[in-house]
Amino acid sequence: MSLAESRAVVEWGALWTRVLAAGSDRVEVRSSPAALAMGDPLAVVVPDRWLDGSPRGVLQHESFRRELAAFSELRWYGRSPAAAALAAQGRGSGTYFVCDLGWSGASFGLCEVERRSIRVLATAFEPRAGGGAYAQSVTEGMPTQVRERFAEVQASKAARARAVLPRATGEHLDDPVYTFDSGFEITAGRLLERFGPVAEVLGERIRELDWTFDTCVLSGGFGEFPLVETVLPEHVRLGPEAAVRGGALLDSGVFGMAPPAQVEVRLPVHRVRNGLLEDADVLLTPGPGNFATLEQERLVVNAAPNGRLTVTMNGRLGELPIAQIAPALSVDACQVGLRASLDGPAALLLVPASGGEPAVVPLDGWEPA
């Protein structure tokens, strides 16, 4: 599939959704993916932490997946490999350190690109170094209208910030950078002062990661803020559209994701059908929206009376302690899905057939029988 033939690509963001329509080269900013034609296939770029196999990430991802249930087919990509794909398009193979700064925080990804294959080696997240945390600090004590419209004004005045802040010393500290409809102004001095703690957190986090890389790339909306550049190592600025454009490269096959380590996870099933006891061994395929199926129908299973679920890992029979992690689900019939981390299968997602809240059971609690 060529780039021109690829499906629409959506990048989820805490503030805005960026959309690259199929066959288009123009990125649109919308309030929600719901504005797209329902029923069409869709490629979706989401935060790396939604794909790391952690219970919180799995649940956030599942919640968003349900919002997009009307689309006929969904493909999912992380923000870091998407940005790495865009950077590698012109720079080739190597190890890329992605610093993706958005409203909700700073995401870091270490991606290895070998020809057209991308493997995510590590990810991290720092909520204190995002645009939202900075906005809260800058607007502390200011009128409600200023706090509510800060992100919008910051985006519209990005060019002025780039012109004023690099030379903001001495008398220029009082120069206005952001001006609101009410006439309220935020000066360069205020922006510089309040960026200090963010810069400290960002720099400290990068030093703690201590990742070895060939190229550092900067992406995300907050990555456009000029003071951010002073904290990062030498880098390539990709801009706020990096994730959605890189997602298009992944979805069209220009680059592909290297598969994680293979761990075979199966669900032994015992059921009564037409009055007869029937046994089956159902292979679980990791991935968002994937659930155990038998004969093309989703399975609804119950844990054993002791609150444990029987699962085989690479051919070895064992159990997961459902009752210890999700007591309510140990007595409820559930759909079962397998979710992965960077290293392979990581957790089971249990969705109650009764419509209750889903739960995540990490596979590291698996015990051999």
* Mean pLDDT on 352-366: 87
Instruction: Give the model confidence (pLDDT) of 266-292 as tens digits.
Output: 999 888 778 788 888 999 998 888 999
Cβ neighbour number for residue 293 with a 10 Å cutoff: 14
Among 191-205, 207-221, 311-325, the minimum mean pLDDT is found in: 311-325
The sign of the dihedral angle between the CA atoms of 347, 114, 97, 222 is negative
Among 202-206, 232-236, 242-246, 331-335, the minimum mean pLDDT is found in: 331-335
Residues 6+ apart with CB under 8 A from 183: none
Are the C-beta atoms of residues 135 and 151 closer than 8 Å to each other?
yes
- pLDDT range class, residue 29, cuts 50, 70, 90: confident
Instruction: Give the model confidence (pLDDT) of 162-173 as tens digits.
Output: 999 988 988 899
- pLDDT range class, residue 3, cuts 50, 70, 90: very low
- Residue 325: predicted pLDDT: 76
Residue 299 above 50 pLDDT? yes
Instruction: Give the model confidence (pLDDT) of 78-135 as tens digits.
Output: 999 999 999 999 999 999 999 999 999 999 999 999 999 999 999 999 999 999 999 9
The chain-wide mean pLDDT, for the chain, equals 90
The sign of the dihedral angle between the CA atoms of 125, 127, 129, 130 is positive
- 188-209 and 131-138 helices, crossing angle to 10°: 150
Q: Which residue has the higher pLDDT, 215 or 280?
A: 215
* Mean pLDDT on 212-222: 97
Share of residues in the chain with pLDDT > 70 (%): 95
- Residue 2: predicted pLDDT: 47
- Residue 239: predicted pLDDT: 93
